[in-house]
Amino acid sequence: MIRLRRFALAAAAGALFVSPAAGHERAWRLGLVTTVSGAGTASPQQVWAYADPFNARRLIACGRMTDPADNLDAGYVSTSSDGGSTWRRTLLENSTRWVSEESCTFGQDGNAYFIAGASNFYAGVPHHETGHMHFYVSRDGGAIWRRTWTRKDGWLDWTTTADAYDPGSHSDAVVVFANQGTDVLGHWLPTQPVAVMSTDYGHTFSPLIALQSSQYRYDAVWAGGNTVLPDGTILFSASAARTSSASATRDWGSGEVAVEVFAFDPATGKLSVRAVLRVRHRVPIFTAAIARGNSSGNFSGRLYVAWVEEEARESALWLATSDDRGFHWRARAIARGFGTDYPAGCSVSPPIDQVRLAATPDGTLGILWMENRANALFSISRDGGRTFASPVTLTQSDTSTLAPFETIPSNDYWLQTALDVESGKPNPQGAWLGTPGVSVVMERDTLDDISLAAVRDGTFRAFWIAPHGTAHVLMTRSVVAGETDGFGSMLSILRRGRCVRGNMELARPARPQVIAPLHVPGTSNVTSSIAVDPLRYGYDARVHTVYVELQISNTGHGTLHGPFLLVAMNPHSDFGSVTVAGAQQHVDGHPAWTLAGNASSNLAPGERTEALRITVHIDRLHGLPTNYLAGDAFSTALRLYSVDAARTNRSAG
Query: What is the rounded average pLDDT of the residues 307-326?
Result: 92
Instruction: For residue 5, name the pLDDT band (cuts at 50, 70, 90).
Output: very low
Helix, strand, coil content of the chain in percent (nearest 5): 5, 50, 45
DSSP of 55-78: -TT-EEEEEEEEETTTTEEEEEEE
pLDDT at 514 (0 to 100)? 79
Highest mean pLDDT among 143-152, 280-289, 430-439, 561-570: 143-152
H/E segment holding residue 93: strand 88-93
Q: Is the pLDDT of residue 545 over 70?
A: yes
pLDDT at 623 (0 to 100)? 73
**Cβ neighbours around 29 below 10 Å, total:** 11
**The dihedral of CA 600, 603, 607, 611: what is its sign?**
positive
pLDDT at 503 (0 to 100)? 38
Beta-bridge partner residues of 399: none
Q: Nearest 5°: phi and psi at 382?
A: -110, 5
pLDDT at 275 (0 to 100)? 96
Query: What is the rounded average pLDDT of the residues 437-447?
Result: 90
Highest mean pLDDT among 253-262, 555-564, 641-650: 555-564
Q: Is the pLDDT of residue 501 over 60?
A: no
State CA 367 to chain mean position distance.
20
**CA end-to-end span of the chain, whole Å?**
47
Q: Report the C-alpha gap between 181 and 271 in whole angstroms.
A: 14
Q: What is the mean pLDDT of the chain?
A: 85
Q: Report the C-alpha gap between 219 and 617 in whole angstroms.
A: 40
Q: Report the C-alpha gap between 483 and 352 in whole angstroms.
A: 26
Q: Report the C-alpha gap between 87 and 60 in whole angstroms.
A: 9
What torsion, rounded to 10 degrees, do the Cα atoms 385, 391, 392, 395 define? 90
Query: What is the rounded average pLDDT of the residues 126-153?
Result: 97
Q: Please tell me whether the overall predicted TM-score, pTM, comes out greater than 0.95 for this model.
A: no
Q: What percentage of the chain has pLDDT greater than the value 90?
A: 59
Query: What is the rounded average pLDDT of the residues 511-523?
Result: 86
Q: Between 504 and 229, where is the model more confident?
A: 229
Q: Is the pLDDT of residue 11 over 70?
A: no
Cα Rg, the chain, nearest whole Å:
26
Q: Is the pLDDT of residue 89 over 80?
A: yes
pLDDT at 453 (0 to 100)? 97
Q: Report the C-alpha gap between 210 and 217 in whole angstroms.
A: 12
Secondary structure of residue 357 in the 3-state scheme: strand
Query: What is the rounded average pLDDT of the residues 154-171?
Result: 87
Q: Which residues contact 442 (CB under 8 A, 6 or more apart)?
A: 402, 403, 404, 405, 539, 546, 575, 630, 631, 632, 633
Q: Is the pLDDT of residue 498 over 50?
A: no
Q: Nearest 5°: phi and psi at 649?
A: -65, -40
pLDDT at 312 (0 to 100)? 78
Q: Is the pLDDT of residue 407 over 70?
A: yes
pLDDT at 7 (0 to 100)? 29
Query: What is the rounded average pLDDT of the residues 53-78?
Result: 93
152-166, 198-212, 510-524, 565-579: which range is least confident on average? 510-524
pLDDT at 484 (0 to 100)? 56
Query: What is the rounded average pLDDT of the residues 8-23?
Result: 31
Instruction: For residue 515, name the pLDDT band (cuts at 50, 70, 90).
Output: confident
What would the pLDDT profile of 33-49 be if each residue is shown by its tens digit? 999 997 666 889 999 99
Highest mean pLDDT among 42-46, 133-137, 248-252: 133-137
pLDDT at 201 (0 to 100)? 93
Q: Between 631 and 215, where is the model more confident?
A: 631
* Residue 54: HSE in the Cβ half-sphere, 13 Å Cα cutoff: 11
What would the pLDDT profile of 474-491 be if each residue is shown by its tens digit? 999 999 876 655 566 666
Contact yes or no for 588/473 (Cβ under 8 A): no
**Cβ neighbours around 109 below 10 Å, total:** 10
Q: How far is CA 629 from CA 399, 418, 438, 605, in A?
A: 13, 7, 20, 39
Q: Which residues contact 391 (CB under 8 A, 6 or more apart)?
A: 20, 377, 378, 379, 491, 492, 494
What would the pLDDT profile of 527-543 be if each residue is shown by its tens digit? 999 999 999 999 998 88
pLDDT at 492 (0 to 100)? 52
Contact yes or no for 119/127 (Cβ under 8 A): yes
pLDDT at 4 (0 to 100)? 35
Beta-bridge partner residues of 121: 126
Q: Is the pLDDT of residue 637 over 50?
A: yes
274-278, 306-310, 444-448, 605-609: which range is least confident on average? 444-448
Instruction: Give the neighbor-by-neighbor strand order of the sheet with 125-138.
Output: 99-106, 112-122, 125-138, 146-150
Query: What is the rounded average pLDDT of the residues 492-511?
Result: 52
**Cβ neighbours around 280 below 10 Å, total:** 15
What would the pLDDT profile of 170-214 be if each residue is shown by its tens digit? 678 999 999 999 999 999 999 999 999 999 999 999 999 999 877
pLDDT at 489 (0 to 100)? 64
Q: Is the pLDDT of residue 124 over 50?
A: yes
Highest mean pLDDT among 338-342, 490-494, 505-509, 609-613: 609-613
Q: Report the C-alpha gap between 123 and 159 in whole angstroms.
A: 26
Cis amide linkage into residue 563, ω under 30° from 0: yes
Instruction: For residue 247, name the pLDDT band (cuts at 50, 70, 90).
Output: low
According to DSSP, the β-strands at 622-623 and 505-506 are parallel
Q: Is the pLDDT of residue 16 over 50?
A: no
Q: Which residues contact 322 (CB under 8 A, 6 or more apart)?
A: 275, 302, 303, 305, 328, 329, 330
- DSSP H stretches of helix in 457-551: none
Closest CA to 238 of 264, 209, 215: 264
Beta-bridge partner residues of 223: 238
Q: Which residues contact 41 (CB under 8 A, 6 or more apart)?
A: 67, 68, 69, 470, 471
pLDDT at 281 (0 to 100)? 86
